[in-house]
Structure 1
């Protein structure tokens, strides 16, 4: 007759691995949960995706995968559901709570959590005033070690860039054709100033992450980060536009051509200006990816480091000895 399986009391994950090598990241990705994000009184439910990982030592075969999901569920129940039907939290604070709980539950030296959520904002097109809803990505990142926890908040937003290189080439060829047609240099300059010169465009994806030090009182709002990212590109884009809006957006982009590198540098400049109250120990990561139209590849640029490193570089005009990485900054909590 069939027998009922007896659950094993053996902790397989705690066994020694065949190859005694530590692993940098072990965990669960793609966990989807509904959270509430927003200013008090303006909270909205968003679908968030969690990636939860720990460092795994060389003498442990595996992490307890079910514990990652258990912790996410428990923290959301405590932080968001709570009593009274729910309350809003900041994405980075939720990530920190989960990271601290996972580190304790897994007995790990280090735990890291990355939360991403789609972030809606209502806005109006630039000329027609037609209302449209734009979707951005909200990031909350946290790491917990024996020394403490640190968090990073950020956004990813889209925009449009116009290539300066192709535009300069077309400007030169247009100058030659206008000169051959009998226009003098002053007339040519007037024409090229009045009529934007064509170039090829890219749809850009800009990401800006900011980490505040433990004693910081400067607030970093997601909408402010979106403004910085969009402002770093040649022009903003809109989901719904009339012809008048399209013409305005295209002309703005062509009067403001920028390379992918320009976008990252502009993000950094605007961050230092808008969040000037952040301490030198604060962290920033600016990344731009442009989806090419006349090439089969895309282009990317990125800069990360502390605000102190950036300020010193701009003041002295010399590159710092190092660019502090996200992991280095997160692990520097004391």
Structure 2
């Protein structure tokens, strides 16, 4: 390797920048004060169409996740999507107001509390001077899980989702969701084989329209239980040999097709008072095929 040596005194930093292409600012005559600048977004004309959603997406932001399982409070990273409606007489929205609103949320604690996020979304509608606004927040949620025999504690995680929309005259609509990994064991394989059965990791995705006034427990725990209690077996971060034996046998005792999974989970969600409608999907990453197996159910409770 050739040795690098500085053969003479280095030029100044400004001279080095010019050496590599930097140039002086170009003089201009446009205003530099906000009150003197043009505001294209607020130009009023007929711009042909109303817009249902306009805003920002994939915004990473620290959040505090409150949960009904330990750890009860944890700092996580949320991915935000913030949008509002826009009528055809307005050219655009002031995008910077969205991130200003997000910063105020952070200063107020920035939690996943549904009441706070409902206020956030309603306030966004007023701040943007629009009829509708929507917040979408996704985040990893970590929770303690003990091994079944030796009680070894570790952290599992699921992917949480909160989607809140607000419309003047109609109020708020709240959707929560969770994506959970589980073990599923093939009933057909168990039935036809002399011994053993193939199993795989199943991924359950649930979204539920809820009435937050009827919530009797943390919605994350509610959806987690619906997925794991109907699976062949739950997943564990730490398993010693006695634990592994117990988990393997539990899966063998509870074989599940993807069809079984979505039907059993749907039955649990129907029984939950806070849930008004839902979608549940199970996707098995098959261990003896190159393809995945999937099943999905959508359901809306009849009005009482």
Q: TM-score range by the shorter chain?
A: 0.7 to 0.9
Is the contact made by 2:145 and 2:237 (CA closer than 8 Å) also made in structure 1?
Answer: no
- The 1:132–1:217 alpha-carbon spacing in structure 2 relative to 1, beyond 3 Å, is closer
Give the whole-Å Cα distance in 1 for the aligned partners of 2:294 and 2:139. Answer: 23
Q: Secondary structure at the match of 1:108?
A: coil
Is the contact made by 1:143 and 1:150 (CA closer than 8 Å) also made in structure 2?
Answer: yes
Tell me which of 55, 65, 77 is aligned to 1:37: 65
Give the whole-Å Cα distance in 1 for the aligned partners of 2:86 and 2:287. Answer: 43
Shift, 1:148, TM fit: 0.9
Match of 2:161 in 1: 139
Per-residue CA distance 1:209-245 (angstroms, 9 max, x = gap): 3333375364444223211111122110112212332
Q: Which runs of 5+ in 2 are unaligned?
A: 1-25
| TM-score, scaled relative to structure 2 | 0.76
Deviates more, 1:21-30 or 1:262-271: 21-30
Map residues 312-331 of structure 1 onto 2, 5 A cutoff.
none
Shift, 1:16, TM fit: 7.4
Per-residue CA distance 1:154-191 (angstroms, 9 max, x = gap): 322211112223433x33xx3xxxxxxxxxxxxxxxxx
Per-residue CA distance 1:271-312 (angstroms, 9 max, x = gap): 234x2x448xx2333232222333333333333333337xx9
Tell me which of 106, 122, 125 is aligned to 1:100: 122
Match of 1:254 in 2: 252
Deviates more, 1:58-67 or 1:235-244: 58-67
Tell me which of 64, 77, 83 is aligned to 2:94: 64
> Does residue 1:157 correspond to 2:180, yes or no?
yes
State the number of aligned residues: 273
- The 1:261–1:22 alpha-carbon spacing in structure 2 relative to 1, beyond 3 Å, is farther
Match of 2:31 in 1: 6
Map residues 1-334 of structure 1 onto 2, 5 A cutoff.
2-3=27-28, 5-7=30-32, 9-15=37-43, 20-38=48-66, 42-78=72-108, 80=109, 89-146=111-168, 147-168=170-191, 170-171=192-193, 174=194, 197-213=195-211, 216=214, 218-273=216-271, 275=272, 277-278=273-274, 282-308=276-302
Is the contact made by 1:30 and 1:50 (CA closer than 8 Å) also made in structure 2?
Answer: yes
- The 1:162–1:20 alpha-carbon spacing in structure 2 relative to 1, beyond 3 Å, is farther
| TM-score, scaled relative to structure 1 | 0.70
Q: Secondary structure at the match of 1:239?
A: coil
Is the contact made by 2:67 and 2:218 (CA closer than 8 Å) also made in structure 1?
Answer: no
Shift, 1:97, TM fit: 2.5
Per-residue CA distance 1:224-271 (angstroms, 9 max, x = gap): 321111112211011221233223223322332212222111112122
Greater Rg by CA: 2
Shift, 1:5, TM fit: 4.0
Deviates more, 1:60-69 or 1:126-135: 60-69
Q: Which has the higher helix share?
A: 1
- The 1:132–1:9 alpha-carbon spacing in structure 2 relative to 1, beyond 3 Å, is same
Give the whole-Å Cα distance in 1 for the aligned partners of 2:160 and 2:236. Answer: 18
Is the contact made by 1:75 and 1:97 (CA closer than 8 Å) also made in structure 2?
Answer: no
